[in-house]
Amino acid sequence: MNYHNIKTCDMLNGEGLRTTLFVSGCNHKCKNCQNPITWNPNNGILFDNNAKLEIINSLNNDEISGLTISGGDPLYPSNRDEIFEFLKMIKYLFPNKNIWMYTGYTFEELMDKPLVYNGIFELIDVLVDGEFIEGLKNNNLKWIGSSNQRILDVKKSLAKSEPVLYIENSEDSNNEVSIRKSY
């Protein structure tokens, strides 16, 4: 697996101060994507032990809330196994840090292939799903680029077998929001 960038002090790709990994490989190829350079899985830098250590060292900082995996698409077919193994290691080393993942796939598409994705779902806390759609672009939305994309609480979504929106800074379960259809 290759990657394009590691940001160790990111405030744009999830709640709090984060470390973000931008992987190579994406088959969605959204029109006017902000990272088209990441589409080709062969572009970028090999995701080796040095890259993993950079992320681990960054996550050792108490001010870092967690890890975000973006891209490209972390769930691009040739990325899945390495992402799964890396996230298992991160959860083991940092059980109190949260993990966000951005993907062009919808929750429903991913749930249709449980053998492929369930292990990954158990490791992430928040899933930002859906392709970027230029006609639905909205610069006023936090953490997403177009209004069709959703920020989902993975644990609650799995428990209900339907998408449940992530509510920022909410510890009150009464604020839980379910979505029956993606769009």
C-alpha closest to that of 88 among 114, 53, 120: 120
Report the DSSP beta bridge partners of residue 45.
3
* CA pair distance 13, 50, nearest whole angstrom: 22
Q: Let me know: does 111 contact 135? Beta carbons within 8 Å.
A: no
- Is residue 183 in some structural domain? no
- Is residue 118 in some structural domain? yes
- Is residue 116 in some structural domain? yes
- Is residue 150 in some structural domain? yes
- Is residue 133 in some structural domain? yes
Residue pLDDT tens, the chain, 183 long: 999 999 999 999 999 999 999 999 999 988 888 888 889 999 999 999 999 999 999 999 999 999 999 999 999 999 999 999 999 999 999 999 999 999 999 999 888 876 567 688 889 999 999 999 999 999 899 999 999 999 999 999 999 989 999 986 444 434 344 343 433
- Is residue 43 in some structural domain? yes
The pair of three-digit structure tokens given for residue 158, joined into one six-digit string = 């799995």
Give how many domains the chain has, as a whole number.
1
Enclosing domain of residue 61: 2-178
